[in-house]
């Protein structure tokens, strides 16, 4: 298949009445959607986008909540040859002015030609626009027809080439929004073909997902893969799932779901929050692979999840793992499909001090490492040492990869793209080791914090904290610490302050919490105020995040 549009045309003509997705919304009947409905809804958006003067290859930003408008607008942009990019919708937590600043930051780099949103959000979007920027049109959802018969002879999407960019994916926050991962039709198809083999994807598989579509795991595994492969998809909003996690279990039971992807925290969350009364009559025996993906995976999290749900038919074989990144479209490795996930119990001291994954010795402190599985067929992985030399098995280094589904580049950022590669290998910024062809992830070289599967750039949080009166520029540091109970990282901010007055310090700590929570949509609980000169700096005077994290863990916890 050449492009997304060709595939959609084929599905429209050959699988017209196949129900391809079920949209689950709280308080409403489940809504089955056929390929015909999906593509006619998309064609209506394609027409509106085209009429707004958007040209093939232009970027269209979608600011819509999880639901049919978002789905139609996404494929509508594709059908008219434009490049869709989904921006997270404003949440209650985030200050509107912060959201506007993030949007402005996205616009300045990505240079979209249009933004699609709801009528009630139009003025918010317009307030982020400035005279002379790239945005020619703000399309509002209620002015787009519900459906249109697609005219495939006219749709510009069918004139795109396989190497053209089909979509952009962004991480969140000011920094993340400036680094759009641009993927070609061919790259996505190559990923789907290879990943389908690793998953042993079958026509009767059913994917169940509550994941957001602005993130690679939700967009690729929980959306594009099933729709482009003709596999049924059951989809619900992350906002509804977080309020009622049992709805995931009910959906799997009702639709005989077979595949899901969850970030590690979701295993703890489901195990802790779901009440037995919500599990009456639930049968989870159809679930054949639940892949733990997108944040560090913990054996303990898997364990509590499988213990909790085994009485409802959950099979131990369903335990699966995946290592993925948007730069490779999605999956790099997959484990737990043909054989149980390998658990490698290693020596804790050697891991921390010697960069070695040495098998654990009786009586010594150990860590149970979960294998992320083998690279999927089109991906090669190697582990690089400090001098970019290839390391042997069980030696920990930076994970590098090579595949035919890599990003075309960071959109409009050739400088950043160039730095990401070394001799054709993409440097992931993650640390890990190999054993018997399987990849184990041990940590991160990059300073990214991952909370609930969401990537957070510490520099964004530090900038916000510095805006609080009493805190000085360049004297804050943000990092993540693992919270075993929640199964994910918690953000910590350490800030140097001059004041020694306890009441004033309390005020500053509260202001930092408030400013960061509302400025980044990351709930900040741990603020630690220190005296001057506490923070560790590098020789060039920069704040060293990992050294400060180590100091915090030693001195404070």
Partner 1 sequence: MTDTIMDALAKQIAVEMLKQPKRVIQPDEALISSGLIDSFHLVDLALFIEDTFGITIDDAELNADTFDTLKQLAELIRSRQ
Q: Is 245 in the site for partner 1 (CB under 8 A)?
A: yes
Task: With contacts defined by CB under 8 A, name the span among 7-15, 87-95, 369-377, 424-432 that binds partner 1.
Answer: 87-95
Beta pairing class for 397-403 and 425-435: antiparallel
Would you count residue 94 as binding partner 1 (CB under 8 A)?
yes
Helices and strands counted in the chain (H then E): 18, 28
Stretch that binds partner 1, among 80-88, 269-277, 402-410, 415-423 (CB under 8 A): 269-277
Candidates 1-9, 128-136, 244-252, 320-328: pick the segment binding partner 1 (CB under 8 A): 244-252
Instruction: Write out the two tokens for 24.
Output: 């689950």
Binding mask 403-442 for partner 1 (x = CB under 8 A): ----------------------------------------
Residue 244 as a binder of partner 1 (CB under 8 A): the answer is yes
523 part of the interface to partner 1, by CB under 8 A: yes
- 517 binding partner 1? (CB under 8 A): yes
Query: What is the Cα Rg of the chain in Å?
Result: 24
CA neighbours closer than 13 Å in the CB half-sphere of residue 96: 8
Binding-site member from 126, 154, 161, 273 for partner 1 (CB under 8 A) = 273
Q: Which is nearer to partner 1, 339 or 523 (CB)?
A: 523
Residue 242 binds partner 1, judged by CB under 8 A: yes
Q: Which stretch binds partner 1 (CB under 8 A): 152-160, 211-219, 234-242, 338-346?
A: 234-242
Question: Of 142, 143, 204, 275, which one interacts with partner 1 (CB under 8 A)?
Answer: 275
Residue closer to partner 1 by CB (options 38, 234) is 234
User: Strand, helix or coil at 530?
Assistant: strand
DSSP, collapsed to helix, strand or coil, labels residue 334 as strand
What does residue 29 show for φ and ψ, rounded to 5 degrees?
Answer: -65, 145
Considering the rule CB under 8 A, would residue 336 count as an interface residue with partner 1? no
Terminal-to-terminal C-alpha distance of the chain: 55
Size of the site for partner 1 (CB under 8 A): 23
**What is the C-alpha separation between 542 and 528, in angstroms, rounded?**
19
154 binds partner 1 (CB under 8 A): no
- In the list 65, 101, 104, 239, the residue contacting partner 1 (rule: CB under 8 A) is 239
Compare residues 438 and 460 and give the one whose CB is closer to partner 1. Answer: 460
Rounded to the nearest whole angstrom, what is the least distance from the CB of residue 456 to partner 1 in the complex? Answer: 14
Long-range contacts of 382-388 (CB under 8 A, 24+ apart): 382/425, 382/434, 383/432, 383/433, 383/434, 384/422, 384/425, 384/427, 388/422
Out of 45, 99, 255, 269, name the contact with partner 1 by CB under 8 A: 269
Minimum distance, C-beta of residue 71 to partner 1, in the bound complex (Å): 22
Closer residue to partner 1, CB minimum distance, 240 or 345: 240
CB contact set of 432 (below 8 Å; sequence gap of 6+)? 372, 383, 396, 397, 399, 439, 440, 441, 442, 443
For 4-34, b/e burial (b = at least 16 CB within 10 A) is bbbbbbebbeeeeeeebbbbbeeeeeeeebb
Residue 501 interacts with partner 1 (CB under 8 A): yes or no: no
Q: Near partner 1 by CB under 8 A, which window of 218-226, 236-244, 294-302, 333-341? A: 236-244
How do strand 421-422 and strand 409-410 relate by DSSP bridges? unpaired
26 touching partner 1, by CB under 8 A: yes
Local structure of residue 120 (DSSP, 8 states): G
CB of 239 to partner 1, least distance (A): 7
Contacts with 39 (C-beta within 8 Å, 6 or more apart), sequence order: 8, 11, 12, 75, 79, 150
Rounded to a whole number of angstroms, the minimum distance from the CB of residue 269 to partner 1 is 7
Residue 380 three-state SS: strand
From 242-250, 329-337, 436-444, 533-541, span contacting partner 1 (CB under 8 A):
242-250
For residues 549 and 479, what is the distance between their CA atoms, to the nearest angstrom? 7
Question: Which of 380, 506 has the CB closer to partner 1?
Answer: 506
281 or 502: CB nearest partner 1: 502
Our CB check for partner 1 shows the closer of 332 and 451 to be: 451
Under the binding rule (CB under 8 A), the answer on residue 99 touching partner 1 is no
Supply the minimum distance, in Å, between the C-beta of residue 494 and partner 1: 16
User: Hey, what are 200's tokens?
Assistant: 């042993």
Q: Is 27 in the site for partner 1 (CB under 8 A)?
A: yes
Q: Give CA angle at 45 (43, 51), nearest 5°.
A: 105
Residue with tokens 């009586």: 363
84 near partner 1, judged by CB under 8 A:
no
Please count the CA atoms within 13 angstroms of the CA of 239 that sit on its side-chain side.
11
Determine the Cα–Cα distance for residues 348 and 295; give it in Å rounded to an integer: 20
124 binds partner 1 (CB under 8 A): no
* Interaction between residue 159 and partner 1 (CB under 8 A): no
Sole binder of partner 1 in the list 29, 91, 143, 500 (CB under 8 A) = 91
Report in angstroms how near the CB of residue 517 gets to partner 1 at its nearest. 5
* 29 touches partner 1 (CB under 8 A): no
What's the CA gap between 23 and 38, in Å, rounded? 11
Q: Quick one: 110 or 517, whose CB is closer to partner 1?
A: 517
Selected binder of partner 1 within 257, 452, 453, 487 (CB under 8 A): 452
- Counting other chains too, the contacts that 137-144 makes at CB distance below 8 Å and 24 or more residues apart are 137/52, 137/53, 137/54, 137/113, 138/114, 139/48, 139/49, 139/52, 139/114, 139/115, 140/116, 141/64, 141/69, 141/73, 141/116, 141/117, 142/118, 143/48, 143/119, 144/44, 144/45, 144/48, 144/72, 144/73
- Within 10 angstroms of residue 299's Cβ, the number of other Cβ atoms is 15
Which of 518, 529, 535, 543 forms a contact with partner 1 (CB under 8 A)? 518
Asked if 552 touches partner 1 (CB under 8 A), the answer is no
Q: Interface with partner 1 by CB under 8 A: which residues?
A: 26-27, 91-94, 239-240, 242-245, 247, 269, 273, 275, 452, 517-518, 521, 523, 525-526
């Amino acid at each position: 298949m050449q492009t997304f549009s060709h595939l959609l045309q084929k599905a429209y003509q050959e699988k017209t009445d196949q129900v391809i997705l079920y949209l689950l919304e709280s308080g409403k009947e489940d809504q089955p959607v056929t390929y015909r409905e999906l593509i006619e809804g998309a064609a209506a958006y394609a027409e509106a986008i085209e009429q707004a003067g958007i040209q093939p290859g232009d970027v269209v930003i979608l600011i819509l909540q999880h639901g049919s408008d978002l789905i139609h607008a996404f494929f509508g942009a594709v059908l008219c040859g434009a490049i869709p990019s989904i921006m997270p919708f404003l949440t209650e937590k985030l200050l509107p002015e912060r959201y506007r600043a993030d949007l402005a930051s996205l616009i300045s780099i990505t240079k979209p030609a249009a933004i699609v949103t709801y009528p009630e959000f139009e003025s918010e979007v317009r307030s982020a626009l400035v005279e002379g920027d790239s945005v020619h049109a703000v399309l509002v959802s209620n002015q787009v027809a519900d459906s249109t018969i697609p005219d495939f002879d006219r749709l510009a999407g069918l004139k795109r080439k396989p190497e053209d960019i089909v979509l952009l994916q962004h991480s969140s926050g000011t920094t993340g929004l400036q680094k759009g991962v641009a993927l070609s039709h061919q790259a996505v198809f190559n990923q789907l073909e290879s990943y389908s083999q690793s998953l042993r994807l079958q026509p009767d598989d059913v994917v169940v997902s509550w994941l957001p579509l602005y993130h690679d795991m939700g967009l690729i595994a929980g959306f594009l893969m099933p729709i482009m492969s003709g596999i049924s998809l059951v989809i619900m909003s992350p906002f509804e799932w977080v309020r009622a996690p049992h709805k995931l279990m009910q959906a799997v039971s009702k639709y005989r779901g077979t595949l899901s992807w969850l970030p590690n925290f979701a295993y703890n969350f489901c195990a802790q929050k779901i009440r037995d009364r919500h599990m009456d009559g639930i049968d989870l025996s159809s679930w054949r692979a639940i892949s733990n993906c997108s944040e560090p995976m913990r054996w303990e999290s898997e364990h509590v999840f499988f213990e909790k749900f085994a009485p409802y038919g959950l099979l131990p074989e369903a335990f699966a793992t995946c290592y993925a990144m948007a730069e490779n479209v999605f999956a790099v490795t997959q484990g737990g499909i043909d054989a149980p996930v390998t658990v490698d119990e290693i020596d804790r001291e050697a891991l921390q001090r010697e960069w070695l994954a040495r098998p654990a010795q009786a009586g010594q402190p150990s860590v149970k490492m979960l294998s992320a599985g083998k690279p999927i067929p089109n991906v090669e992985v190697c582990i690089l040492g400090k001098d970019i030399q290839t390391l042997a098995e069980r030696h920990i280094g930076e994970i590098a990869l090579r595949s035919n589904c890599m990003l075309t580049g960071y959109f409009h950022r050739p400088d950043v793209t160039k730095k990401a590669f070394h001799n054709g290998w993409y440097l992931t910024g993650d640390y890990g080791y190999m054993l018997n062809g399987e990849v184990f992830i041990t940590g991160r070289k990059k300073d990214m914090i991952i909370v609930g599967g969401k990537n957070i750039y510490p520099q964004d949080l530090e900038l916000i904290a510095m805006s609080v009166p009493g805190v000085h520029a360049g004297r804050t540091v943000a990092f993540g610490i693992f919270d075993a109970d929640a199964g994910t990282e918690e953000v910590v901010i350490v800030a140097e302050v001059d004041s020694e007055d306890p009441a004033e310090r309390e005020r500053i700590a509260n202001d930092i919490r408030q400013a960061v929570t509302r400025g980044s949509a990351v709930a900040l609980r741990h603020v630690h105020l220190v005296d001057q000169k506490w923070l560790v700096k590098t020789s060039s005077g920069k704040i060293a995040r990992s050294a400060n994290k180590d100091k915090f863990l030693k001195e404070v916890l």
